[in-house]
Structure 1
Amino acid sequence: MSTKLRLVITAVVAVVLAGIAVGYAALSRTGVPDEVASTTVGGPRLVVLSNGRLSTVSRDDPGGPREVTEQRCDRVYRAGGTTSCLRPVGAFKAGELAVLDTGLREVRTVPLTGFPNRTRVSPSGRMVAWTLFVDGHSYAANGFSTSTGILDTRTGALVRSLEEFTSTVDGEPATAADRNFWGVTFAADDNRFYATMSTGTHRYLVEGDFAARTLRSVADNVECPSLSPDGDRIAYKAAVNGDPQQGWRLSVMDLRTLATTPLAEARSVDDQPAWVDGRTVAYGIQRDDGVNDVWSVPADGSGTPAILVPEANSPAPVD
């Protein structure tokens, strides 16, 4: 996408944000009461969103009491003591990325124009990534446009769009104007990462090098990747028959062999999955009434899906 076109789209989005923010926020609503809880959750935990509030539940009892904070987010992720909160678009306020420390104190904000969609933090807590819809609201739609950026919280280096990086597909330069990027996931070295790049009719898994500012294709038909704790596998959504309008199948890819395993969740999953541990993948599914639940399924293709955290979304494991 050209800089001129992106500026035009950004201006249009800024005008219409106020009119559609309420409807968009309703998509991530849950049935949990809108109040701050006094419950304190210890031990291994999961961070989730409950009714749009940053919350914590016990991994041993994820359906039990939850600690609900005053932080409001449309998407959240925590790792290495850093929390990334994509704050909602308001009637008179555009969205923003808020970087929070271990005490949930704000240490950095980045103004954003668009609709919050994905966010991730590297295992060390240093690198933060986000994806916004600039135009459109679904990866199954034609003509959508995304903006994906990365912040190095240690140096302050800010990449507002992965379109700034040099991209290759099968070793050849990828320069098409229709390129879109989304769904970053970080490796443990704070430099290497994976994401989705779409161009034409293909949606590629790309491996990125932050320092070198490069992206190279790894595999086709991979969206919203999530790197496993051991760094050897990617959980992702794969378009059914290569067509996103037919929905997505949750799958796991071995990065050493590129062998894929469809998981036992047969419903369409339009989410970036999260690894609860090395054996379990979590993801959000929205009910017909608009309430979200966090589900989980074994990462080896066995078992059956089960609700992990009712009336919640945007899961992330916390030790």
Structure 2
Amino acid sequence: MTRRVVLALLGAVLLTAVAVGYGVFTTTRVQPAVSVTDRLSLTAGPGILFRSTAPESKGHLAMVATEDPGGPRSVSALNCLRVDAAGGTGICLRQDGALPTFQATILDSKLDVKKEIPLVGVPNRTRVSGDGRLVAWTVFVAGDSYNNGRFSTRAGLIDLETEDMIDSLEFLPVTLDGHPYTAADLNFWGITFAADDNTFYATMSTDGRRYLVAGDIAAKSIRTIAQNVECPSLSPDGRRIAFKSAIDADPAKGWRLSVLDLASGARTSLAETRSVDDQSAWLDPNTIGYAIARGADDSDIWAVPADGSGSPRLLIPHAESPAALR
């Protein structure tokens, strides 16, 4: 076992405390009704899959009807730190035993386990491509010499059809502003997939800057597109990216949600003015969903229009990591 792996595992307990943190937002609301079941399905009709943070079902994968997101929820026995689903495929990033080690658990449409992939680090982000063929994950790790003991990230992906896997995007060649680029401090996180099962977008950080990058799986390459774009989420039409951006390019000041038009480069600030430390999700072509913390280990899912209009609204109390099932 390498020194990097050992240090990552030793730091996992501490990292767990920050892996699902999103800021501070505290309020009191009526608890949602809960129906405990092992018969959840990813193809049962319009719904929203999420990770429950309610006291009676904390950490469990759960689902609500799209037309009544604040209403009764069905709760699975699966316990996850982060979830996503699309195209009949689900992914649950979870602890895989008594020790602080973790795995990416691939699920079929009935939420039965299809594959388990060991993760060296604490789960933070995950995504499934629209047709369910590709899945991606991001983890926190510790021990990189260049990072002075701070946390770093690793992001990887797998093609479930071919079984081809990229363990870490750090292994791929990078083009920055049109020129080949290498650096010891490269970090990647927040992968999102295009519909062609080849193109992906992610965040890359280096030299104190954060970039939106586009990746080509077949060519095994990455290129930068824009600065100060984090945790991208590609729209259903493939033309827009919802993202968080650090205020004044300084994460210490918090993040704001925006939408980037890929063709024009235009950015639209969304109506949510609170700091959002999350990889948001497109609930439909016009609505962005995201988590806001209400305490140390509790969150709510909120929604806001993708065109900058309107105002935020509470969607699912005591919940995070939303995935719209269509």
SS in 1 for 2:36: coil
The root-mean-square deviation of aligned C-alpha atoms, in Å, is 2.5
User: What is the aligned length?
Assistant: 308
2:191 and 2:203 in contact (8 A); partners too:
yes
Q: 1:99 Cα shift?
A: 0.3
AA matched with 1:292: S
Q: Report the counterpart of residue 79 of structure 1 in structure 2.
A: 86
Equivalences for 1:211-226 in 2 at 5 Å?
A: 211-226=218-233
Contact 2:241–2:262 (CA under 8 A) maintained in structure 1 = yes
Distance 2:19 2:315 in 1: 23
- Which amino acid is the alignment partner of residue 210 of structure 2? R
Alignment check: 8 A CA contact 1:25 1:88 kept: no
Partner of 1:3: none
- Which has the bigger relative contact order, CA under 8 A and spacing at least 6? 2
Against the structure 1 CA distance between its residues 189 and 12, is the aligned structure 2 distance closer, same or farther, given a 3 Å change threshold?
same
Of 11, 14, 27 in structure 1, the residue corresponding to residue 9 of structure 2 is: 14
In structure 2, what residue type is equivalent to 1:304? S
Provide the C-alpha distance between the structure 1 equivalents of 2:250 and 2:15, rounded to a whole number of angstroms. Answer: 29
Q: CA deviation at 1:190?
A: 0.6
AA of the residue aligned to 2:193: F
Seen in structure 2, the aligned counterparts of structure 1 residues 111 and 73 have a Cα distance that, compared at 3 Å, is same
C-alpha separation between the residues in 2 aligned to 1:149 and 1:25?
Answer: 17
1:75-114 to structure 2, matched below 5 A, reads 75-88=82-95, 90-114=97-121
Shift in Å at residue 88 of structure 1? Answer: 2.8
Determine the structure 1 residue equivalent to 2:27: none
CA deviation string 1:239-271 (max 9, x = no partner): 101111111000000000010001000000000
How many angstroms apart in 1 are the aligned matches of 2:291 and 2:232?
14
Provide the residue aligned with 1:69 in structure 2. Answer: 76
Residue 53 in 1 paired to residue 60 in 2? yes
TM-superposed CA distance for 1:202, in Å, is 1.1
Q: Percent same amino acid among aligned pairs?
A: 50
Question: For the residues of structure 2 that align with 1:27 and 1:170, how far apart are their CA atoms?
Answer: 32
Distance in 1, Cα, partners of 2:37 & 2:66: 18
TM-score by length of 1: 0.90
- Distance in 2 (CA, whole Å) between partners of 1:34 and 1:132 is 30
Alignment of 1:1-319 (within 5 A): 7-17=2-12, 19-20=13-14, 23=17, 36-37=36-37, 43-50=45-52, 51-88=58-95, 90-135=97-142, 143-319=150-326
Change in 2 beyond 3 A, CA 1:221/1:109: same
Deviations 1:222-243 (A, max 9, x none): 0000000000000000110111
Code of the residue aligned with 1:203 in structure 2: it is R
Mapped contact 1:197–1:203 kept (Cα < 8 A) = yes
Q: Residues 23 and 258 from structure 1, CA distance in 2 versus in 1: closer, same or farther, beyond 3 angstroms?
A: closer
CA distance in 1, matches of 2:246, 2:304: 19
**Deviation larger for 37-46 or 126-135:** 37-46
Gaps of 5+ in 2: 23-30, 53-57
Paired residues of 2:49 and 2:62 also in contact (CA < 8 A): yes
TM-score, normalization by structure 2:
0.88
Give the distance between the partners of 2:237 and 2:20, measured in 1 at CA: 36
Cα drift, residue 173 of structure 1: 1.3
Q: Deviations over 1:31-70 (max 9, x none)?
A: 7799834897953100011121111111100000111001
